[in-house]
Copies of this chain bind each other. A is one copy, B any other.
Amino acid sequence: MSSTIEIERKFLVKSQVFKHQAFNKTHIKQGFLSTDKERTVRVRLKGNKGFLTIKGASSNDGLSRFEWEKEIKKEDAEQLFKLCKKGIIDKMRYEVKLGNHIFEIDEFFGDNKGLVLAEVELNNENEIFEKPNWLGEEVTGDIKYYNSQLSNQPFKTWK
């Protein structure tokens, strides 16, 4: 369990090259009990582990956000999915290490197929990090890329 302030930057991804650099790959299924911007409540199955995660509102610059997480049983996650709002998210997460940072790249399936997003977690808002050549436009703070919003308004409905 953790209760922290997250500082993250988020980017679109331009190519599939990251797949060759990944040291890890995990299937993620997640749903939301609340998609309010002030309080999202997420149920997640990450590989064989279940998690319940509660996030507060983003700071004004979209960079930091209160986050509380607790591991739960896989079976509990499966039960709680049944209570979630419509729009369960299905994605593969790749992890790429570059310098001192780990990039998490999510390749979405289902109604969000075609979307690939990369996130890097920072220790402070000014920290420098290496930018790989597959990294595209920055979308930090753009709420339409929040998973909670992708659940309500998936990528395939955007055009």
Contacts and interface: CB of A to CB of B under 8 A. Distances in A.
A82 interface: yes
Interface string A79-114: 110111100000000000000000000000000000
Interface residues of A, number: 24
A11 interface: no
Contacts of A73: 1
Contact of A84 (B39, B52, B68, B75): B39
Contacts of A80: 54, 68
A28 interface: no
Contacts of A3: 75-76, 79
Interface of A: 1, 3, 33-34, 36, 38-39, 41, 52, 54, 56, 66, 68, 70, 72-73, 75-76, 79-80, 82-85
